[in-house]
Structure 1
Amino acid sequence: MSEEVNRRNFLSIAAVTAVAVEFPLIGAANAQADKVAPAVKPGTHTSFAPFKQVDAGQLNVGYAEVGPADGPVVILLHGWPYDIYSFVDVAPLLAGAGYRVVMPYLRGYGTTRFLASETIRNGQQAVIATDIVALMDALKIPTAIIAGYDWGARTANIVAALWPERCKAMVSVSGYLIGSQEANKKPLPPKAELAWWYQFYFATDRGRQGYDSNRHDFAKLIWQLASPKWNFDDATFDRSAEAFNNPDHVDIVIHNYRWRLGLAQGEPQYDALEKKLAAGPLISVPTITMEGDANGAPHPEPASYRQKFSGKYEHRTITGGIGHNLPQEAPQAFAQAVIDVDGF
């Protein structure tokens, strides 16, 4: 549930109406004729092939990969408190359509580790995006379709905005999520502030200790609140919860949320990138934004971010009680969006 909603979106009055199209779980109106993702029951798949590891930038990145090695690349990015199993049903659909699908654990999750013990455990938005560019360099991927939700959607937004030559197209759940510390200083209406309760909890030492001591139960609560109509079972949750046992997980999560509120400093080498992001850059790459009709996490209305996308664009609202973890709850709709945006 950690979408860093651009606070200006909460408070602004949208001047442009979003192109809102409702899609059921099965089918898509404008799918490419030769590439239609088949229907799949969420939870059909439960595992990946053995994970891979590669040194990239500051990290030794753990990732799963499926599909033909010479296929067009799709990079799928997860959020908090989730992991790459959000894409366990999406990946086979895309691989079947001919894509090479790469799903990395973000810093602080799963089998991803820092190469040096002295590296600052930094979770600010720019550094996570630079991790993905470094991964692409390490895997010799010049350009890719990048798709994600939550932290992953924000990271995709940043790569698309700052390195558009590396992003062929994008699928972003909850739209435009690039934020700034300055914008986050502005208080929200009380109801909106309530939705960010965990962010304020993490701002305290008690919150850090509480999250560290109760990672499993804390994350499960977030899943329930963010996707109130998703009846996931214990096995589904436990597969993802393993990723939170990463030794750097708590440090990254706490720094991420404290940085947003200006309670923790970023690193100077990212100041120039953050300055660009704080200006709210437009995204020119072809984009499909998505939203579940039952998303219980804080998220902006589609009309508030339509003007941020200057290239070919479409918004899809996915019906059927779909919550925050859209790829895992509606894998066919998410995979179809990736296939379709490739044809824009």
Structure 2
Amino acid sequence: MPTAAIENATIAYRDGGPRDGQPVLLIHGWPDDASTWDEIAPLLHGAGLRTIVPTLRGFGDTRLHGDAPPFGNSATLAIDMIGLMDAIGVERFMVAGHDWGSNIAEALAVGWPDRTERMAMLCSPPRLGGVPTPSFDQTQRQWYHWFMATKRGAQAVRDDRRGFARRHWDNWSPAGWYNEATFDRVARSWDNPDWVDVTLHSYRCRWEEAEPDPRSIWLEDKIRETQTLSLPTIYVQGADDGVNPPSASSTVPAKFAGPFAFVTVPGVGHFAQRENPREVARHLIHLFTGDIATLADSTDRSLPMTKATSLIVGVAAAGLIAATALGIAQAQGRSGQLTQVAQFDHQVTGVAVVADGRRFVNFPRWTDDAPISVAEVMKDGSLRPYPDAKWNSWRNARANELPVGHYFVCVQSIVPDGHGNLWVLDPGAPGNEKILEGAPKLVKVDLQTNQVSKVIAVPGDVALQGTYLNDIRFSPDGKIGYITDSGTRGAIIVVDLEYGKSWRALDGHPSTQIDKTVKVEIEGKPLVRPDGRQPMFSADGIAISADGRTLYWQALTGKTLYSIDTALLQQGRGEQDRAAGVKTVAQTHVADGLWMSKAGVLYLTSPTDYSIKRLAGSTVETVLTDKRLRWPDTFAEGPDGTMYVTASHIQDTQWFTPGAPPSVRTQLFSFKPAG
């Protein structure tokens, strides 16, 4: 088992699952050890999650340094956990904790809210707002707290730690839940020389019979001062828990102001993750990989998570749904040149950064019915439906009720025109499948008034059945838009933005079609659907020179970058002239997004090797590579020249990963421009 040295201890831990998976910290309780997660962790790994499973101070192979005092209060243990995550380079994480671990998780959420994304508390209620003196019934169940506060009680624990712990295993869960081999294996962890002292301090400190670790006083105070938490949370209650029965957790829901679910697991006691690991893992996977909108229930918070549904409906509530369902979280972590800016619970594709620094993102409806289509990323990390809730209130389930021309149906791209407007490109084809009649459109939003000022419908003889409007760039005067059609018959679609007319150019030309010789592979393995199909996207990435005279594009399923003089794309020019004017710029690679920066650098995403590249003459060179760039998708540029790129995780969707949830977690990153 690897170890990590922190301030006062060396922590033993296990690090499992995919290295690029979302990290989940699994914290054990008392009297138990890290093996409590042995049957849970592999199930989380199968869901694409990385697990970090530490052994707490006083247990197993974890050791305190020198004469470090054996403090055991929850805040100190939380500080240990942050030290561990720092030591192994994990900035943001989700957490599940049982018993002691439950309150350590709570302390992490209070003390480091910018790092703790989601939380599962198992079988030990929160201590937010302070711990009141328990009822006489609960005091009787917690007799061991008071027993250890006495000199004789403490000595009894020192004399027979296994006998003391066995009493709790026998009393806290239904008879017969464990076997002797399991108990003996776990009990060896309690042979740690600091186990008794850490145990005694933990229980004495919570009732003010001992002083907390001085390093942790700030956090203990903050926990007492904090009344509620808002991060997505589930509380797991064993229906037959003998120490913290359902009656002891009746006030738990009131402690959480955000998405929350109270999960009762029937037939189990206090060690729920040991007694019914599959049921517990199912709920953890839902919390850590699923749509958190299903956690929100304002009427009955005791509903199991699998039955919980959002009761917020209607256009007026779309903003609130979006703010919780997308679960955006600001991040500060860095890896080389790449900085994570935001994280989402649904698949993101487009990003836009406008002149005043505001940032926008969009979510197409590919494998899930995203609760928002276009959002402004606010300074506090929340999402605001943009330009308003009504435009974002389309749902696939209401496809026959709402007029497709006045709602965002399946937004693929959002791009500013440099003249105070944000244009929203809507292919009108949910699931990247059949176009809904009348749905393909361009929507112009005035960035000053934050109101829609124009809607340009793309007619059926331009947006053919099988067309997918992918991305758009604008002429410098803002009068012409150029759109790539990445559908079954690729083309460049040109739009007169003043008069609303549009036409197809290079329709079916080899430069706008897929390259049938290209095989899309990631880490040497073909990226294919269960039926053997690989990603098949025609003209996709698009960029335009600063003077507006040269347009660049490439098929995603391709390896050649092309260009043309934009004068040849104007209405009235013949297809023969256009075809003759197409130039091969460079031999490239599978690429999704393109961007011409203000400095004249043409950037390309490279999804198959997690990298960003740039054009260098007639070749391309790598700018940065980072495994977090799971399908780098679309670029934007900030007013200070900072580049932004989304990671849309196409390879992690149900299309290419059978059994994956409908929603995938995605990110927005930034990097400084290449020199």
Question: With structure 2 as the length reference, what TM-score do the two structures score?
Answer: 0.42
TM-fit CA distance, 1:301? 4.2
- The verdict on how the C-alpha distance between 1:89 and 1:61 changes in structure 2, with shifts beyond 3 A counting, is same
- The verdict on how the C-alpha distance between 1:190 and 1:301 changes in structure 2, with shifts beyond 3 A counting, is closer
Alignment partner of 1:68 is 2:18: yes
The answer for the alignment partner of 1:286 in structure 2 is: 232
The answer for the alignment partner of 1:172 in structure 2 is: 121
Alpha-carbon distance between aligned partners in 2 of 1:285 and 1:137, rounded to the nearest angstrom = 21
The answer for the alignment partner of 1:10 in structure 2 is: none
Question: Would the aligned equivalents of 1:282 and 1:308 in 2 still touch at CA under 8 Å?
Answer: yes
- The verdict on how the C-alpha distance between 1:302 and 1:253 changes in structure 2, with shifts beyond 3 A counting, is closer
Tell me the secondary structure at the aligned position of residue 90 of structure 2. coil
Alpha-carbon distance between aligned partners in 2 of 1:183 and 1:68, rounded to the nearest angstrom = 39
Matched AA of 2:138 = A
- The verdict on how the C-alpha distance between 1:306 and 1:179 changes in structure 2, with shifts beyond 3 A counting, is closer
Matched AA of 2:108 = V
The answer for the alignment partner of 1:148 in structure 2 is: 97
Matched AA of 1:233 = N
TM-fit CA distance, 1:330? 1.2
Tell me the secondary structure at the aligned position of residue 68 of structure 2. coil
Greater mean alpha carbon deviation, residues 276-285 or residues 253-262: 276-285
Superposed structure 1 runs of 4+ greater than 6 Å apart? none
TM-fit CA distance, 1:179? 5.8
Matched AA of 1:215 = R
Tell me the secondary structure at the aligned position of residue 165 of structure 1. coil
The answer for the alignment partner of 2:277 in structure 1 is: 331
The answer for the alignment partner of 2:110 in structure 1 is: 161
Alpha-carbon distance between aligned partners in 1 of 2:144 and 2:249, rounded to the nearest angstrom = 24
Matched AA of 1:259 = C
Alignment partner of 1:100 is 2:100: no
The answer for the alignment partner of 2:201 in structure 1 is: 255
Aligned CA RMSD, in angstroms, stands at 1.7
TM-fit CA distance, 1:147? 0.2
The answer for the alignment partner of 1:298 in structure 2 is: 244
Question: Structure 1, unaligned stretches of length 5 or more?
Answer: 1-50
Question: Would the aligned equivalents of 1:161 and 1:284 in 2 still touch at CA under 8 Å?
Answer: no
Alpha-carbon distance between aligned partners in 2 of 1:292 and 1:326, rounded to the nearest angstrom = 6
Please list the CA deviations of residues 273-324 of structure 1 after superposition, one character each: whole Å capped at 9, or x if unmatched. Answer: 21111124421111111111110113554441212111111111111x2010
Tell me the secondary structure at the aligned position of residue 341 of structure 1. helix
Q: Which has the larger radius of gyration?
A: 2
The answer for the alignment partner of 2:521 in structure 1 is: none
Alpha-carbon distance between aligned partners in 1 of 2:6 and 2:215, rounded to the nearest angstrom = 17
Alignment partner of 1:119 is 2:65: no
Please list the CA deviations of residues 241-270 of structure 1 after superposition, one character each: whole Å capped at 9, or x if unmatched. Answer: 111001111110001111112111123332
Alignment partner of 1:313 is 2:260: yes
Alpha-carbon distance between aligned partners in 2 of 1:206 and 1:175, rounded to the nearest angstrom = 27
TM-fit CA distance, 1:190? 2.4
Alpha-carbon distance between aligned partners in 1 of 2:145 and 2:102, rounded to the nearest angstrom = 18
Question: Would the aligned equivalents of 2:25 and 2:96 in 1 still touch at CA under 8 Å?
Answer: yes
Greater mean alpha carbon deviation, residues 212-221 or residues 224-233: 224-233
The answer for the alignment partner of 2:191 in structure 1 is: 245
TM-fit CA distance, 1:151? 0.2
Alpha-carbon distance between aligned partners in 2 of 1:164 and 1:137, rounded to the nearest angstrom = 15
Question: Would the aligned equivalents of 1:229 and 1:322 in 2 still touch at CA under 8 Å?
Answer: no
Please list the CA deviations of residues 192-250 of structure 1 after superposition, one character each: whole Å capped at 9, or x if unmatched. Answer: 21111111110112111111111112111111111124421100111111110011111
TM-fit CA distance, 1:162? 2.1
The answer for the alignment partner of 1:3 in structure 2 is: none
Tell me the secondary structure at the aligned position of residue 217 of structure 1. helix
Alpha-carbon distance between aligned partners in 2 of 1:183 and 1:102, rounded to the nearest angstrom = 29
Tell me the secondary structure at the aligned position of residue 252 of structure 2. helix
Alpha-carbon distance between aligned partners in 2 of 1:216 and 1:266, rounded to the nearest angstrom = 26
Please list the CA deviations of residues 68-87 of structure 1 after superposition, one character each: whole Å capped at 9, or x if unmatched. Answer: 22211111111110011111
Tell me the secondary structure at the aligned position of residue 102 of structure 1. strand
The answer for the alignment partner of 2:135 in structure 1 is: 189
Alpha-carbon distance between aligned partners in 2 of 1:231 and 1:156, rounded to the nearest angstrom = 26
How many residues were matched structurally? 289
**What are the within-5 Å matches in structure 2 for residues 204-243 of structure 1?**
204-243=150-189
Q: Percent identity of the aligned residues?
A: 34
Alpha-carbon distance between aligned partners in 2 of 1:160 and 1:107, rounded to the nearest angstrom = 20
The answer for the alignment partner of 1:57 in structure 2 is: 7
Question: Would the aligned equivalents of 1:59 and 1:114 in 2 still touch at CA under 8 Å?
Answer: yes
Alpha-carbon distance between aligned partners in 1 of 2:256 and 2:244, rounded to the nearest angstrom = 21
Question: With structure 1 as the length reference, what TM-score do the two structures score?
Answer: 0.80
Question: Structure 2, unaligned stretches of length 5 or more?
Answer: 293-675
- The verdict on how the C-alpha distance between 1:233 and 1:95 changes in structure 2, with shifts beyond 3 A counting, is same
- The verdict on how the C-alpha distance between 1:179 and 1:283 changes in structure 2, with shifts beyond 3 A counting, is closer
Alignment partner of 1:203 is 2:203: no
The answer for the alignment partner of 2:210 in structure 1 is: 264
Alpha-carbon distance between aligned partners in 2 of 1:222 and 1:56, rounded to the nearest angstrom = 31
Question: Would the aligned equivalents of 1:145 and 1:338 in 2 still touch at CA under 8 Å?
Answer: no
Question: Would the aligned equivalents of 2:244 and 2:270 in 1 still touch at CA under 8 Å?
Answer: no
Question: Would the aligned equivalents of 1:230 and 1:329 in 2 still touch at CA under 8 Å?
Answer: no
Higher relative contact order (CA 8 A, sep 6+): 1
Question: Would the aligned equivalents of 1:76 and 1:87 in 2 still touch at CA under 8 Å?
Answer: yes
Matched AA of 1:307 = A
Matched AA of 2:10 = N
Question: Would the aligned equivalents of 1:85 and 1:240 in 2 still touch at CA under 8 Å?
Answer: yes
Matched AA of 1:212 = R
Alpha-carbon distance between aligned partners in 1 of 2:170 and 2:210, rounded to the nearest angstrom = 29
Question: Would the aligned equivalents of 1:147 and 1:153 in 2 still touch at CA under 8 Å?
Answer: yes
Alpha-carbon distance between aligned partners in 1 of 2:248 and 2:149, rounded to the nearest angstrom = 26
Question: Would the aligned equivalents of 2:123 and 2:244 in 1 still touch at CA under 8 Å?
Answer: no
Matched AA of 1:109 = F
